[in-house]
Structure 1
Amino acid sequence: MSNTPATDEARQKSNRKVAALCVAFFCGMVGMAYAAVPLYTLFCQVTGYGGTTQRVTQYSDRVLDRDITIRFDANTAGGVPWKFAPVDRSITVKIGETAQAHYTATNMAARPTGGRATFNVTPETAGAYFNKVECFCFTDTTLAAGETMDMPVIFFVDPDIVDVPELKNVKTITLSYTMFPIDKEAPATTGSIDRSTVTTTNTEADVGG
């Protein structure tokens, strides 16, 4: 039995709908792939997941009479010919007190090179309470051949940390940075770093309980 023109037209319309749905699905998947990294980064920044610290614009409005020690760690990933390290290995501050620490970076190459710092803290659950007001990690950095740069970070530990059962007895937080080349994609969060590509230039990463 031969197909009528009406049947052929209906089949063509159906095929066009299927094709359109396939294209829409493909475009949607591509869009989700591109959106996944920034959305995941935003999620980490809001929740502190994976030890991601918080970025704030205001200082703490209260300071507790309780000390906490902040230790500093620095690493460089493959492709960053920098000597990168904290000026001080640790400082002790009051919870809620605004403090400033300094890192330094020296470009050991004979040409300008750029770096982008990713960061996290341990214990990871403290990330939601470690607030940065200013940080070199907010922007990419380019150093001329042989140039050394001072890289400050201004931060405070949110006093609300003492109300969290698993964190109320924490006495030490380690702030860790890894410098990646800016011509390569850095991880969305530093909760999981491929250590096979990372060189530790200064480690002081043990955590007090």
Structure 2
Amino acid sequence: MKLDGTRKTLAATIGTVLFMGAMAWAAVPFYSWFCQVTGFGGTTGVAAGGAHDVLEREITIRFDGSKDRNMPWEFRPLQREMKLKIGETGIAFYEATNPTGRTIAGSATYNVTPYEAGGFFTKIDCFCFTLQVLEPGETVQMPVTFYVDPEIVDDRDAKFVHTITLSYTFYETDLPEDHAEVAPGIATETPKGG
């Protein structure tokens, strides 16, 4: 039985809506994958270990830390910059303090500038890979272990980069279900969304 014009239009419309919904659903993971593979937008790479080669050429790494305006933590890099040989593994520390009377969870986003260096800045381990939870008054030092991939010297744009800036921004997030929200004996404020 042939579909008449109205049924064809309805079927085409439903098909288009389903296709667009599937594309919207897939856009975020695809974009994340694309950024990780290409370093687009300053997205860094991730590796299980250090680089295989270390070059004689040095590069300066600068560190920046900020927080969302609603994040009550204090957050800063413990060093402003370091010089490393390209391919050499470095470790830098950031410090976070929870000055409030309540337990707060935080999540860090990051990027690298200039953007053309993003795909060559490779993290081995980073506090940004996991949720951070700080008790009232707690201060922690959080490491990031990284290297700059030696292939940067062969890239037509990135080979001219002499300084890379690694920036983190912390945002408050919901506490995990299994985490006690209030430390014993401490007066607290009412958490956001709670």
Q: Aligning the two structures, in what range does the TM-score lie when normalised by the shorter sequence?
A: 0.7 to 0.9
Aligned counterpart, 1:197: none
Q: Secondary structure at the match of 2:165?
A: strand
Letter in 2 for 1:82: W
User: Per-residue displacement from partner, 1:162-182 (whole Å, max 9, x unpaired)?
Assistant: 112333232211111111222
Aligned counterpart, 1:154: 145
Aligned counterpart, 2:187: none
Mark the CA change 1:109 to 1:33 in structure 2 (over 3 Å): closer, same or farther: farther
Write the distance in 2 (CA, Å) between the matches of 1:156 and 1:39: 25
User: Per-residue displacement from partner, 1:179-204 (whole Å, max 9, x unpaired)?
Assistant: 12225xxxxxxxxxxxxxxxxxxxxx
Q: Secondary structure at the match of 1:168?
A: helix
1:43-122, aligned counterparts within 5 Å?
Answer: 43-122=34-113
Residue 26, structure 1, aligned to residue 17, structure 2: yes
Q: Secondary structure at the match of 2:160?
A: coil
Residue 132, structure 1, aligned to residue 135, structure 2: no
Q: Is the 8 A contact 1:68 1:94 kept in 2?
A: yes
Write the distance in 2 (CA, Å) between the matches of 1:22 and 1:149: 54
Write the distance in 2 (CA, Å) between the matches of 1:151 and 1:127: 21
TM-score by length of structure 2 reads 0.82
Letter in 1 for 2:164: I
Unmatched 5+ stretches in structure 2? 175-194
Q: Is the 8 A contact 1:131 1:157 kept in 2?
A: yes
Structure 1 residue 119, shift from structure 2 partner: 0.9
Write the distance in 1 (CA, Å) between the matches of 2:21 and 2:137: 42
Write the distance in 1 (CA, Å) between the matches of 2:12 and 2:99: 53
Residue 180, structure 1, aligned to residue 175, structure 2: no
Write the distance in 2 (CA, Å) between the matches of 1:107 and 1:24: 50
Unmatched 5+ stretches in structure 1? 1-8, 184-209
Structure 1 residue 10, shift from structure 2 partner: 5.7
User: Comparing 104-113 with 16-25, which one deviates more in the overlay?
Assistant: 16-25
- Name the % identity: 49
Write the distance in 2 (CA, Å) between the matches of 1:29 and 1:71: 41
Write the distance in 1 (CA, Å) between the matches of 2:43 and 2:130: 16
User: Comparing 20-29 with 139-148, which one deviates more in the overlay?
Assistant: 20-29
Aligned counterpart, 1:143: 134
Q: Is the 8 A contact 1:80 1:113 kept in 2?
A: no
Structure 1 residue 14, shift from structure 2 partner: 5.3
Structure 1 residue 55, shift from structure 2 partner: 1.1
Write the distance in 2 (CA, Å) between the matches of 1:36 and 1:145: 38
Residue 41, structure 1, aligned to residue 35, structure 2: no
> Which structure has the greater CA radius of gyration?
1
Give the count of matched residue pairs.
174
